[in-house]
Amino acid sequence: MVAKTEIHAQQQTLPGTERLMEPQAIFIRDDYRGSGKLENKVALITGADSGIGRSAAIHFAREGADVAVTYLSEEEDAQETKRLVEAEGRHCLLIGGDLRDAEFCRDAVAQVVETFGGLNVLVNNAGTQWVSEDLTTLEDVQWEQTFATNMHSMFYLTKAALPHLGEDDTIINTTSVNAYIGPDFLVDYTATKGAIVSFTRSLSNQVVGRGIRVNAIAPGPVWTPLQPATLGAHDPQMLEDFGADTPMGRAAQPCELGPCYVFLASLDSSFISGQTLHPNGGTVVNG
Ligand code: NAD
Ligand code: MG
């Protein structure tokens, strides 16, 4: 069992960094044993410098994959992810830049294919949020930027990646429990996450005939830099209750997410496509 994380009031600025997290996050359980589920696969994971993406990167490496990692500007966090992937005996390619830029997305996929000779798993995970409690004061530019980061980037990356994917390759999109419960202070973010669920379903139907599976993961509250940089920046006290409203009464550690990504990336989920996994502490969402 993963113990409840005691989170105190704290604040960061976006995009946030792991170094300032108190307490530090846990990315993989010491007793997690790899069994070659992703042997010699190549994965591209966006936003894997930190948080959920970093956990997925380390788990993929322990399962035998080489991993390319994109990050916005968190150089120090990205270098640490690279060190952790390499400690598992696999290669790690770091690609820094802004996923709102279609050209950068295309270039990122090209770099992965050039470096590793192919691509098998695309994890569209990078994302951002911003607390806004009143739609009438939500700036147009904020709305557009949230969609550009969370949704448009997925389109650009997936479009560039699909020609390289084939039989048994997979795409995994990170959505959120918020797509299902609709918190009143994250309307733009929640709308992007709903779009990601529908994107996943429709894209799955389009490519499943080629043997490519497309699924989503809808995490509940997870202890990552995104939270002190957004909820904490809005009101540091919001973090003290982070996760308390889940049936398990706590937030997850990133190490509780990585195995979900392994499952959907590997043949263990060979009959699953167009679906969403719900690692959310027990919240029943029926979707
Ligand atoms: P995180 O801050 O560790 O990771 C998000 C990453 O996205 C950052 O590391 C950053 O490099 C990247 N990113 C942000 N804007 C970018 C841009 N414009 N261009 C390129 N990269 C950019 O936080 P996390 O919680 O691990 O977030 C990962 C995903 O999980 C996000 O999509 C988030 O919405 C989702 N999620 C998180 C939670 C949670 O409670 N932490 C819950 C549900 C869903
Ligand atoms: Mg980060």
Phi-psi region of 89 (alpha: psi -120 to 50; beta: other; left: phi over 0): left
- E-assigned strand segments in 20-148: 42-46, 66-71, 92-96, 121-124
The rounded Å distance from CA 226 to ligand 1 centre is 6
End-to-end CA distance of the chain: 26
Summarised one tens digit per residue, pLDDT across range 161-181 is: 999 999 999 999 999 999 999
Active site residue 189: yes
Calculate what percentage of the chain has a pLDDT beyond 70: 100
Helix, coil or strand: residue 258 = helix
- pLDDT tens profile 4-44: 999 999 999 999 999 999 999 999 999 999 999 999 999 99
Q: Which helix (H) or strand (E) holds 172?
A: strand 170-174
Residue 271: band (very low, low, confident or very high) from pLDDT cuts 50, 70, 90: very high
Q: What are phi and psi of 108, to 5 degrees?
A: -60, -45
Of 207, 209, 114, the C-alpha closest to 158 is 207
Measured distance CA(35)–CA(52) in Å, rounded? 21
How far is Cα of residue 236 from the mean position of the Cα atoms in its chain? 23
Q: Beta-carbon neighbour count of residue 22 at 10 Å?
A: 11
Could you give the domains of the chain?
Answer: 39-274 (3.40.50.720)
DSSP 75-107: HHHHHHHHHHHHHTT--EEEEES-TTSHHHHHH
Q: Tell the residue nearest (CA) to atom 7 of ligand 1.
A: 126
- Among 7, 24, 45, 52, name the best residue to mutate to test ligand 1's pocket (greatest count of ligand atoms within 8 A of Cβ): 52
Q: Is 66 in the pocket of ligand 1 (CB under 6 A)?
A: no
Candidates 21, 9, 233; CA nearest to 132 is 233
